[in-house]
Structure 1
Amino acid sequence: MADDGPTDWNDRERAPGTPPRVIVIGAGVAGLSTGCYAQMSGARTRIFEKHVLPGGCCTAWSRDGYLFDYCIEWLIGTAPGNDAHQVWRELGAFDGKTMTNFDLFNKVEDASGRSVTFYNDPDRLEAHLLEVSPADSAPVRAFTRDLRRFTGIDLYPFLTAPPLRTVRERAALLRTVLPAFRLFWRTAATPMHTFADTFQDPLLRQAFRNIFFQDPEGFPLLPYLFNMAAAHHGNAGFPQGGSLGLARSVEERYLGLGGTVTYRARAEKVLVEDGRAIGVELRNGRRYFAEHVVSACDGHTTVYKLLGGRYTGPRIERLYSDLIERPGTLFPAVVSAFVGIRGPFGEEEAHSTTHLLSAEDAAELPGALQNSLVVQVRSRYSDGFAPPGHSVVHCTYFSDFAYWKELRTRDRKEYRARKRQVAAFVRRFLERRTPGLAGRIELVDVASPATMHRYTGNHDGSILAWKAFSDADDVAARLVGKDRMRLPGLSGFSMAGQWVGMGGLIRAASTGRFATQYLCRELGLEFRAWESDGTAAEPWHPGKLGQLPQLDRWSAREGTGS
């Protein structure tokens, strides 16, 4: 949208008789969600985004006819009949789209070729695990018994901010939680590492740690059971169009509600007057005013750059000065290698496989944090990810952000050489698994954690921000529930997104809903939301993605991305 329209965004005071203005910083999923709900509730909104695309981390880029889908591996809320799905329907995220569901969550294979497949169906999973290791019947049956119980639980508390829940909503939540309280408590208190170590089979000990593709370390059993149960019901699928497709659909919904997005517009600071946020100043010096400002970008940047560190308190300081630097509190950054292949790939393979690497192989991956490589056949997730008759594979591993950041800052030539090393390893690894494949590889495009930091501003290049079940979890929950997503001493301002409400796209979207519910009370508006009329939507097609960027120009010559 154009920078200026027939509005009063450049005026300190809003035009008489017009609805209150809300400025949103960042057009990621949380920012777009905030804009949608604020528009539905009668506010006028404007989103400023530094990038040329919506979505933030929920993004994709292209090269030579391939689409490199960066974010979604599974999405909670893809099946009808639950609150998570309602949020996505309100945001228009699924309009005109089909969903892809797989019968397994992930496959894990060790260096010798032994493998275990984590089927979403508890009965099939139990039979398979007992076949892999009959001696481990006790822990196998314990896990699948709990998985069956989770398949009967419908708990997606994403519609109303905790302090604003009605008596009816609280009662409904209790009716779900109380009968399963001991199950929740026990699985939340049992670390996956502790449980996995009860297996006799060394493959199962490692495989259970990698159900979520790589070992997030520190997770208890509960999230594994919850997500696999959701997948069993088709509620953790993959939407047509993928990550950027999701962002584009929510953007379309927002624009249809009358909102405005300005791209290539980096916010430099939040304007504050007498302890109240009154607008933003962009890098180009232009100022825009509003009755409320919502920051839906990186939390550390918001607190210490946009606001200069002036509005903090014990909770904010603990999150953004203490915990953010503590090992194990943030989700690790990721190295991504997208491989474009002429012809088919992986027709006999699982859609997603974690390969447990030998020490020698792992040593060849620069900055690797674990001895594993995830290989996903992304062209099986959605149409349009590869040219007709071609395939695209996404290879990832957890990596050290500081390694890549220092390398890129100190020696750009060496930085590119290390990315070529990643590309060369991926080529050799895939050829070793499928002889003759190397001759059909058309390109390898590598993105490092430094790439993520450059394009999104996410602290340490972390895609998912705070790690659930870490020390940050309780602090962030109080920031949402007790502080109402506000900062001490500053009115007219809110924060939204994964740096407030934890990681995951449904959580990001729900923070936009919560932030709007809170600001409606401040601005005297009635919070309103309704589902998009998806039946009238044009069927999804790749053309809806719009103009897609490549990464740096030199990547086309060297084949290693940004």
Structure 2
Amino acid sequence: MSENKKRIVIVGGGIAGLSAGIYGKLAGYNVDIYEKNPVAGGECMGWNRKGCHIDNCIHWLTGTKKGTALRKVWETVGALDEHTEFADCDSFYTSIKGDSRVTLWKDLERTKSELLKLSPDDAMEIEKFIEYVKYAAECEIPAEKPMDAMGIMDYIHMGVSMADMPKVMKEYGSIDLEELSKRFKHPALKQLFTDYLPKEYVASSFLVSYASITSGNGEIPMGGSLAMVKRMVNQFLRLGGNLHCNAPVVRILIENKKAIGIEMADKEKVLADYIISSVDTMEMFDRLIGKKYMDAKWQSCYADNEKYPLFSAVQAAFVADKTAYDRKGTIFFDCSPFETGGRKVERISVKSYEYEPEFAPTGKIVIQVNIPQFDKEYLYWKGLTKEEYESRKKEAVKAIEERLQMQFPSLLGHMEFLDCWTPITYERYCNAYHGAYMGFITRKGVKSFRVKGLLKGVQNLYIASQWIMAPGGLPVAVTAGKFAVWRIACKDKRMIDYNN
């Protein structure tokens, strides 16, 4: 292949794969993306049921604030532009505990006022929390180049721009959310801090998440996940990329310690100068290249689900009359106990998509329930026969519907079931390891997982996946795609043309 016609083949058309494809075209390569599903997007997906739209992914999109490096990446890949509209949401979420109701508002001063009014005895911890959320707003994921490629000036600049983050890490980086909750006296505040993210999460991650909301760096693009994916696909195609859907790859071809192409399900072989794997990394190791390429770091993390747990969810979507459910945002509440995935459930959340009028017919809204599931629950679902699996799903839907109607009696007779999905759904559709829709959880006292996206002993194979840095998610995925091409372009002494 001639120098100016080098070819990149990307396995997987999720956010990381699309990002890599777009940056590959901007760097002047011929690029083909092979995606096993009928549409690109991976876990950043939405689908239609009974005239309604269900959104699977974006709870908030980190990197929406203009002027940030990550915002530039989202703009480059076409996910955002100057005309992008964002949902008019004024809160992060609300927790109900007993007779108390407490909200983390987008307006941080409003949150402070509400928390202090609820529990004056917790004033010291409340004041500290609010102050440190302001510090955490400085946190930005590196988006210009991989951290291992950063020089002294890059680190100096990062240190200056995030001067207060060490304070956050010192105060909240060595405790988990369960420990944070115990710093508060009021039961509703104790509950508040263990509702949104798993209690095993390091507390600093929660502060950074909330800070993205309060600072305007975590907005929700209108139209949801599928609409954003379509914009990225259009950008890739506009640049001349080739997207092959319904095209499962069965093997990455490696000869003489060098990746040379891929083999399709129909045995067709596609050769390329570079291969980027943008699938779930266990899928890559287990099937596409073989576990002999999995080094000790990957092995230790996958083998220890105590230190590196994974989480997924059982989710159910319903359509309701607006007159029967006029709440906004995400609400957590206690419920009478039931089991799903073998896990006892005593508290659930419901999210209203009232800000997306196109998601439901006039006078209706989509509401969605999320129940966390972990490695153990995945194994439960995986061990069921097809008949048992369908039966357990129906039982879960019935239990969820009953508890929604108990908490919000106005829903009785005014809601209809749309769909239910489980960790097995994520495994089936995305080949997600243990059904996880994000990477390894960052726990206290455990070194946060991060790798370069390269494999020792294999040339011309790069990893662009949310799995290369904990806790994964959309920001990691989109930057991983960029960084994979950045490494290739550096190797070939090419520039990425951002004006294309």
Question: In which range does the TM-score fall when normalised by the shorter chain?
Answer: over 0.9
Please say if residues 338 and 399 of structure 2, whose CA atoms lie closer than 8 Å, have aligned partners that are also in contact: no
* Counterpart for residue 335 of structure 1: 314
Opposite residue 74 of structure 2, the aligned amino acid is W
Please say if residues 106 and 213 of structure 2, whose CA atoms lie closer than 8 Å, have aligned partners that are also in contact: yes
Deviations 1:337-384 (A, max 9, x none): 00012444542x241111233xxx232444336532110002x24342
Deviations 1:175-226 (A, max 9, x none): 123454333332212333222112111221121122xx2x413323322222
* Counterpart for residue 538 of structure 1: none
1:200 aligns with 2:200: no
1:353 aligns with 2:339: no
Q: Which residues of 2 match residues 97-246 of structure 1 at below 5 A?
A: 97-110=84-97, 112-151=98-137, 153=138, 155-178=140-163, 180-210=165-195, 213=196, 215-246=197-228
Q: Which residues of 2 match residues 49-68 of structure 1 at below 5 A?
A: 49-68=35-54
* Counterpart for residue 317 of structure 1: 299
Quick one: structure 1 residues 401 and 184, their matched pair in 2 at CA, closer, same or farther if it must change by over 3 Å? closer
Instruction: Report deviation, 1:470.
Output: 6.3
Q: Which residues of 2 match residues 267-286 of structure 1 at below 5 A?
A: 267-286=249-268
Quick one: structure 1 residues 402 and 204, their matched pair in 2 at CA, closer, same or farther if it must change by over 3 Å? closer
Instruction: Report deviation, 1:38.
Output: 0.8
Deviates more, 1:268-277 or 1:224-233: 224-233
Quick one: structure 1 residues 449 and 328, their matched pair in 2 at CA, closer, same or farther if it must change by over 3 Å? farther
* Counterpart for residue 425 of structure 2: 451
Aligned partner (choices 2, 8, 32) of residue 18 of structure 2: 32
Q: Distance in 2 between the 1:497 and 1:118 partners? A: 31
**Aligned-partner SS, 2:75:** helix
1:507 aligns with 2:476: yes
1:430 aligns with 2:404: yes
Q: Distance in 2 between the 1:409 and 1:318 partners? A: 24
Deviations 1:485-533 (A, max 9, x none): 1111100101111111331101110011111111112233223435x8x
Aligned partner (choices 358, 361, 367) of residue 393 of structure 1: 367
* Counterpart for residue 539 of structure 1: none
**Aligned-partner SS, 2:13:** coil
**Aligned-partner SS, 1:443:** strand
Q: Distance in 2 between the 1:58 and 1:381 partners? A: 19
Please say if residues 275 and 491 of structure 1, whose CA atoms lie closer than 8 Å, have aligned partners that are also in contact: yes
Quick one: structure 1 residues 345 and 285, their matched pair in 2 at CA, closer, same or farther if it must change by over 3 Å? farther
Q: Which residues of 2 match residues 2-13 of structure 1 at below 5 A?
A: none
The alignment covers a number of residue pairs equal to 498
**Aligned-partner SS, 2:291:** coil
Opposite residue 200 of structure 2, the aligned amino acid is G
Q: Distance in 1 between the 2:382 and 2:298 partners? A: 30
1:372 aligns with 2:372: no
1:488 aligns with 2:449: no
Q: Which residues of 2 match residues 472-551 of structure 1 at below 5 A?
A: 474=448, 476-477=449-450, 479-480=451-452, 485-502=453-470, 503-530=472-499
**Aligned-partner SS, 2:43:** coil
List alignment gaps of at least 5 residues for structure 1.
1-13, 533-562
Instruction: Report deviation, 1:166.
Output: 4.9
Quick one: structure 1 residues 328 and 388, their matched pair in 2 at CA, closer, same or farther if it must change by over 3 Å? farther
TM-score normalized by the length of structure 1 = 0.84
Opposite residue 183 of structure 2, the aligned amino acid is T
Please say if residues 329 and 470 of structure 1, whose CA atoms lie closer than 8 Å, have aligned partners that are also in contact: no
Q: Distance in 2 between the 1:328 and 1:184 partners? A: 19
Q: Distance in 2 between the 1:407 and 1:160 partners? A: 40
Aligned partner (choices 415, 437, 460) of residue 441 of structure 1: 415
* Counterpart for residue 542 of structure 1: none
Q: Distance in 2 between the 1:513 and 1:434 partners? A: 45
Please say if residues 216 and 331 of structure 1, whose CA atoms lie closer than 8 Å, have aligned partners that are also in contact: no
Please say if residues 30 and 512 of structure 1, whose CA atoms lie closer than 8 Å, have aligned partners that are also in contact: yes
Please say if residues 341 and 392 of structure 1, whose CA atoms lie closer than 8 Å, have aligned partners that are also in contact: yes
Q: Distance in 2 between the 1:363 and 1:460 partners? A: 22
Please say if residues 486 and 493 of structure 1, whose CA atoms lie closer than 8 Å, have aligned partners that are also in contact: yes
Q: Distance in 2 between the 1:389 and 1:297 partners? A: 40
Quick one: structure 1 residues 307 and 366, their matched pair in 2 at CA, closer, same or farther if it must change by over 3 Å? closer
Quick one: structure 1 residues 47 and 472, their matched pair in 2 at CA, closer, same or farther if it must change by over 3 Å? farther
**Aligned-partner SS, 2:263:** strand
**Aligned-partner SS, 1:189:** coil
Deviations 1:454-491 (A, max 9, x none): 001000000012113468754x32x22xxxx1111100
Q: Distance in 1 between the 2:400 and 2:344 partners? A: 17
Quick one: structure 1 residues 53 and 362, their matched pair in 2 at CA, closer, same or farther if it must change by over 3 Å? farther
Opposite residue 414 of structure 1, the aligned amino acid is E
Please say if residues 108 and 356 of structure 1, whose CA atoms lie closer than 8 Å, have aligned partners that are also in contact: no
Q: Distance in 1 between the 2:390 and 2:140 partners? A: 45
Instruction: Report deviation, 1:47.
Output: 0.5
Instruction: Report deviation, 1:303.
Output: 1.4
CA RMSD across the alignment: 2.2
Q: Distance in 1 between the 2:341 and 2:286 partners? A: 31
Deviations 1:143-164 (A, max 9, x none): 112223334x263422211133
Q: Distance in 2 between the 1:275 and 1:97 partners? A: 45
* Counterpart for residue 555 of structure 1: none
**Aligned-partner SS, 1:116:** strand
1:466 aligns with 2:444: no
Q: Distance in 1 between the 2:92 and 2:323 partners? A: 22
Q: Which residues of 2 match residues 284-295 of structure 1 at below 5 A?
A: 284-295=266-277
Please say if residues 307 and 446 of structure 2, whose CA atoms lie closer than 8 Å, have aligned partners that are also in contact: no
Please say if residues 77 and 84 of structure 1, whose CA atoms lie closer than 8 Å, have aligned partners that are also in contact: yes
Quick one: structure 1 residues 370 and 522, their matched pair in 2 at CA, closer, same or farther if it must change by over 3 Å? farther
Deviations 1:405-429 (A, max 9, x none): 5556543222212111122122212
**Aligned-partner SS, 1:56:** coil
Q: Percent identity?
A: 23
Please say if residues 311 and 436 of structure 2, whose CA atoms lie closer than 8 Å, have aligned partners that are also in contact: yes
Deviations 1:244-286 (A, max 9, x none): 1111111111111111111111111110111100000011111
Instruction: Report deviation, 1:133.
Output: 1.4
* Counterpart for residue 299 of structure 1: 281
Opposite residue 194 of structure 1, the aligned amino acid is E
Whichever structure has more strand as a proportion of its residues is: 2
